[in-house]
Amino acid sequence: METTETRPVVCEFLGTLLLVFFAVGSAVLAGEYIGTFGIALTFGFTLLALAYALGPISGSHVNPAVTLGVLLAHRITLRTAVEYWIAQILGGIVGAALLFLVAKQVPGLKTHEAFGTNGWGDRSALHINLGGAFVAEIVLTFLLVFVFLSVTHRVAVVGFDGLPIGLALAAIHLVGIPLTGTSVNPARSIGPAVFAGGAALT
């Protein structure tokens, strides 16, 4: 793979790593202090920063669902999509690993339980069932992908795409955290689940 082809893939790896470490980290390390609103803003601001930092290189998908949407919109090739998916999943796992290492140094923090993972039933604040959780995640993910595709379209305002994407993710988390913990991003969910283990992996 040539350097020009490698840079976007590396950016997707790094971007997903940072998204998981900082955004999921806000829930794991500071959730009881900043609450749902603070966690939602952290997710939104982190994605906003990544959009401007990495967007010119890779598009800053940092999310397999977004990459799928971009692929279906015929904006990238299948090969690029697969490379992005691999980078995103690995980035999510490495980001979660770094977060896990930090969290283990905090006395009394139960890293073996939720660890920023998603779920339904007893693992949902509102005890939503599997069907409801599935529908909620589909709708929330659709909104994120829809906003991403809309604001990154060639007729959209240049340089404006990061703000609405970040705001959309923040709004999505305000609604989704009580329901499922909010995934809308397989890489963001898989990474923490690897270290939480148990029901998080089902």
For residues 99-123, give the mean pLDDT.
Answer: 82
Cα distances from 149 to residues 57, 58, 74, 77, 174, in angstroms, run 17, 14, 11, 16, 21
Asked if pLDDT for residue 80 goes beyond 80, the answer is: yes
For residues 119-127, give the mean pLDDT.
Answer: 90
Per domain, the residue ranges of the chain are: 3-201
How does residue 198 score in pLDDT terms, banded at 50, 70 and 90?
A: low
Asked if pLDDT for residue 196 goes beyond 60, the answer is: yes
Q: How remote is the C-alpha of 148 from its chain's centroid? A: 13
- Phi, psi at 119, each rounded to 5°: 180, -170
| Tokens found for residue 57 | 């290189």
Question: In the CATH hierarchy, which top-level class contains the domain 3-201?
Answer: mainly alpha
How does residue 4 score in pLDDT terms, banded at 50, 70 and 90?
A: low
Q: What is the mean pLDDT of the chain?
A: 91
Q: For residue range 130-163, what is the model confidence (pLDDT) as tens digits?
A: 999 999 999 999 999 999 999 998 655 556 689 9
